[in-house]
Amino acid sequence: MAGRRFARLFSWFVADFSRRTGRRFGDICSGLPVLLATVLLLALALPASARADDARRAALSTGIATARAEADRLQGDFKGLLGVRERVETLITEAKALRREAEAARTRLQAQLAEIGRAAVPEAAGAEKRAAEADLAQVEARLRQDGQALRAAEDVLNRVTEARRSLFAQRLLAPSPSPLGPAFWSELLDRAVPQIGERMAALGAKGAANDWDEDLLGLIVFLVASALIYWACRAIGRRLTRRWRRFAGRAGIGPRRAAAVHTLIALGIMVAPVPVAVALVILLDDELDLSSGSIDSVLVRLVAAIAGVLLGTGILQALVAPRDPSVRLLAVGDSAARTVQRTGAAMLLIYAASLVVVEFTVMAQLRAAIGEAVTSLAVLACCVLLSLALARLAHAEPPDADEAAAMPAASPVGFLGALAPLAWVVTAAAFACTLLGLTALGSFLIGRLLVTGVLVAFGWIVLIGVDTLSVGAEDVARSPRLSRLCRTFSLRPELLALASIVVSGLLHALVVGAMVFVVVGPWSLAHGDLNPFQDAFLGTTVADLRGWIGAAGLALFVFGLGLLATRLATGWLDRRFLPQTRLDAGARYSVITVVGYGGLAVTLVAALGQLGVNPQSLTVIAGALSVGIGFGLQSIVSNFVSGLIVLAERPVRVGDLVTVKGEEGRVKKISVRSTLIATGDRTDLVVPNTDLITSIVRNKTLTDDTQRLRVPLLLDRDTDIEVLNEILVKVMERHPNVAPTPAPSALLMRIGENGLEYEVRCFLVDLAAGDTTRSELNTIWLTLFRRAGITLGGPPRA
């Protein structure tokens, strides 16, 4: 580029000199820069960067060809295809990077050609233009080459993904002899069991030849070291939790926050031995052979099974705390807590043991019937245990008052109780699949159920811990540390409370999203793979999902997901965020309503987008419907717009006492079409929003919640004024619904022919009880008037 710019500058200089002098020497010299430019372009035709890009493209083509050959060769290797997929993804990234660079070069050359076309001396820039056009042609050729390479790499990726999906489906749906049939027991008892002694002897001989004694010694050292580390961590955890309890008691920390931190400390101590155990495995054997059927794969599977059982059992124990109700996070009784903890631990132990035994049968080259029998028995045992536990939990009595008092940090189990039907369905399906001979499918279902249960328990614990991050303004005022923090950074307690609630809400969304991904995504997790998260969803994309369930099904899924997200967002605003603000109830309701309708609109647009509807076309449709709206839907649109105005301007809020067209009541709900008003006779009045905008509305609580009560009285002329004022004022002062400020008063409005016309004025605390207050005051006054000899006024007697 520097050579080209120099050539253009030199050409312009010589051409300008030629025009100024008018000599023929200028015409001769004008061809010199063209020659120099041509030489420079030839010298820069193959710069180092271009040669590097060509080398990258050559390496990319070679990598794609190699990946295609490996994909064809590893059609039956599930994990081998995973490695091929990872390499192909890297190749796709490289192809996209090359294409972006080529597109940037094309854009630059096109801009250069446009600039040359605007040059003052076109004949002087002709060679440069031809050189730029040649470069542009080369870039276009590279773009086509990059596009072909990208399509080839994506084709290899699709082939690998489809092959892995097919293998996964074959693995799950592979038929096996049913435990109910005689062929299963004949194969197991007549052929497989007698072979065990022979294969074990051969395995011992192979181990002696391969020096497996060192591996077994290393395994023993590892297990002893892991046990010591585990018991040491448990001792440290007990000490830390005791110290935390003492500190929480001295600092006045709430029971829920104290229990959540106690549980997180216990979980941290339980998780700590796992990375230490992995480090020990690496130190003991730097050359692990993790291929199926090797001794190292059995040892690693054993270590993973032990770690999984310890972690799963620890999570369940931390959640239900069967021995310590004060830190229990679920509102269940002691018997239910023991049932959950023991059943979960037993199922995890049985399932993990079956995985280790199956791996050992592969290593020992035993008949497949032994592995199938072990898997079938493990699945059936887990189904029986889970069924008994679900039945016992369904008939368990809820905690009584004393037990609830002993569990100050426990949360309701309504959400977890809703998972019971799903657990019954999965248990029944796994049991039926195992009996019908689909052992792999039954094992997969039980494995996914166990993984889901443990992850839901862990997510529940984390969410309760996240809840402790949110504090209210009162908590900030009561806490010396938080108050000091507010003074240090000049923050209001309300602002700190809102910030904590926002952070807690974001962490809630992050934890829930992570839990959903982990539960749904890694399909190989139930089979005990070491790193299943690199194979989330088996390469499934949105396009694949649309091909499976159709555009309409995907649109319904997006619509349901959007509605759920909107419901969760409005619920969080209503329960957690808005109550900590200074907004009144009406303003909070308006915000929630607007957010709800906004989320509904966005969800609808997203769902229509999945059907192929362009959002811009909605404006065309709205324009086409404007004529129909003007005639048939005018009132509906008017009410809708009026509802938006009411929600935005808030002349009427939820809870206001209003009078509309002679009807008085409190505003109960404001929607975009109508407003619901609850009247005093316990009837609901549906008022179109247009009436709230176009008619006169009397809002008694718009600017002031208090309301003045006026009671006129007509008394005899001979009434003692001092006694009368004392009776009127003292009765109002002692009434619970009369506000002390402003003070009630009794005013003599007029001395008429019929008597003294008084007006008693006071402000009410509860405006809804105005008629009741008036009646009570009149009753008490009339009784005291009779005792004091005060008579009411009236027209003179004839």
Q: How far apart are CA 504 and CA 502, in angstroms?
A: 5
Identify whether 186 is part of a domain: no
Q: Which of 295-304, 527-536, 753-762 has the highest mean pLDDT?
A: 753-762
- Do 332 and 369 reside in the same domain of the chain? yes
- Do 145 and 130 reside in the same domain of the chain? yes
pLDDT, position 9: 41
- The sheet with strand 745-752 has its strands ordered as 707-715, 755-764, 745-752
pLDDT, position 530: 42
Identify whether 16 is part of a domain: no
- Do 82 and 129 reside in the same domain of the chain? yes
DSSP string of 481-501, one letter each residue: HHHHHHHHHT--HHHHHHHHH
* % of the chain beyond a pLDDT of 70: 76
Position with higher pLDDT, 761 vs 237: 761
Q: How far apart are CA 328 and CA 410, in angstroms?
A: 6
Whether residue 770 contacts residue 707, with contact meaning beta carbons closer than 8 Å, is answered with yes
Whether residue 762 contacts residue 774, with contact meaning beta carbons closer than 8 Å, is answered with no
List of long-range contacts for 188-196, beta carbons under 8 Å, 24+ apart = 188/369, 188/370, 188/373, 191/367, 191/369, 192/366, 192/367, 192/369, 192/370, 192/373, 193/370, 195/366, 195/367, 196/366, 196/370
Q: What range defines the domain where residue 103 resides?
A: 45-172
- Do 532 and 583 reside in the same domain of the chain? no
| Residue 183: burial class (beta carbons within 10 Å; 0-12, 13-18, 19+) | exposed
**Which of 468, 501, 528 is a domain's end point?**
468
CA distances from 535 to 86, 129, 453 (A): 10, 51, 21
**Which of 699, 729, 752 is a domain's end point?**
699
Identify whether 640 is part of a domain: yes
pLDDT, position 427: 92
**Which of 448, 468, 488 is a domain's end point?**
468
Mean pLDDT of the chain: 76
Of 71-80, 259-268, 324-333, 406-415, minimum mean pLDDT range:
406-415
Mean pLDDT over 14-31 rounds to 43
Identify whether 7 is part of a domain: no
- What are the backbone angles phi and psi of residue 330, rounded to the nearest 5°? -120, 135
Residue 283's pLDDT band (boundaries 50, 70, 90)? Answer: low
Q: How far apart are CA 604 and CA 617, in angstroms?
A: 14
Token pair belonging to 400: 């009584």
Domain count, the chain: 6
- Do 262 and 346 reside in the same domain of the chain? yes
Identify whether 21 is part of a domain: no
pLDDT digits over 207-242, tens only? 666 555 555 666 676 677 767 777 777 788 778 888
Q: How far apart are CA 232 and CA 606, in angstroms?
A: 54
Identify whether 383 is part of a domain: yes
Q: How far apart are CA 549 and CA 555, in angstroms?
A: 10
pLDDT, position 48: 53
pLDDT digits over 492-517, tens only? 877 888 888 888 888 888 888 877 77
- Do 441 and 548 reside in the same domain of the chain? no
Whether residue 90 contacts residue 55, with contact meaning beta carbons closer than 8 Å, is answered with no
Whether residue 434 contacts residue 376, with contact meaning beta carbons closer than 8 Å, is answered with yes
Burial 363-372, CB ≥16 within 10 A → b, else e: bbebbebbbb
Q: Which residues contact 593 (CB under 8 A, 6 or more apart)?
A: 647, 670, 671, 672
- Do 646 and 680 reside in the same domain of the chain? yes
Identify whether 658 is part of a domain: yes
- Do 723 and 669 reside in the same domain of the chain? no
- Do 230 and 302 reside in the same domain of the chain? yes
Judged by DSSP in three states, 654 sits in: coil
Identify whether 28 is part of a domain: no
Q: How far apart are CA 494 and CA 579, in angstroms?
A: 11
Q: Which residues contact 502 (CB under 8 A, 6 or more apart)?
A: 577
Residue 349's pLDDT band (boundaries 50, 70, 90)? Answer: very high
* % of the chain beyond a pLDDT of 90: 4
- Do 312 and 204 reside in the same domain of the chain? yes
Residue 348's pLDDT band (boundaries 50, 70, 90)? Answer: very high
Question: Is pLDDT above 80 for 611?
Answer: no
User: Distance from CA of residue 251 to its chain's centroid?
Assistant: 33
- Do 757 and 682 reside in the same domain of the chain? no
- Do 384 and 502 reside in the same domain of the chain? no
